[in-house]
Amino acid sequence: MNPIKNYEYAPVEKEIPGFSRGFALAVVIILGAVVIIITGLVQGFNQTADYASARVVYLAATAKAIEFTSSGSYAVPVQNDLLPLIGEEINADATISVVDENQDAFIDYIVYTRNGLVTKYIPGDVVVTAEK
């Protein structure tokens, strides 16, 4: 492929002057960048959704812990206890662990695992890691 300034007459073959491998390479690079950006946005959305779900689970666990304390027989809430409060959407394909180390109805933290992400919610802090 020759630059357009080197042509005196119209090209005999059907070729577009000035566009060769560089144009295709630019298109591939742009499409790759778009895929990377969209993947990052989806991953960020999943982390945000899991954070919000973990927060809802923490609030539900705290409410259940208070309910169990007021009934006189305290037990750390488990995933099945929280189902009526959190709903099926948050519970679907998730593993929820509630930790109350002192058995004082103050939930220390929860671990919410879903879609390969482990969200550890401690009041005032959140840690999201990939599932091992």
pLDDT tens profile 42-78: 988 888 888 888 899 999 999 999 999 998 888 899 9
Question: Could you give the CA distance from residue 128 to residue 132 in angstroms, rounded to a whole number?
Answer: 12
In a domain, 25, yes or no: yes
Question: Could you give the CA distance from residue 73 to residue 62 in angstroms, rounded to a whole number?
Answer: 15
In a domain, 8, yes or no: no
In a domain, 74, yes or no: yes
Q: Which one-letter DSSP state was computed for residue 73?
A: -
- Which two tokens mark 114? 């879903």
How many structural domains are present in the chain?
1
In a domain, 100, yes or no: yes
Structural domain range at position 65 = 19-130
Identify whether the C-beta of residue 53 lies closer than 8 Å to the C-beta of residue 121. no
In a domain, 11, yes or no: no
- Which two tokens mark 98? 């509630």
pTM: 0.69
- Which two tokens mark 113? 């695992």
Question: Could you give the CA distance from residue 47 to residue 128 in angstroms, rounded to a whole number?
Answer: 7
Q: Does pLDDT of 107 surpass 60? A: yes
In a domain, 79, yes or no: yes
In a domain, 7, yes or no: no
In a domain, 5, yes or no: no
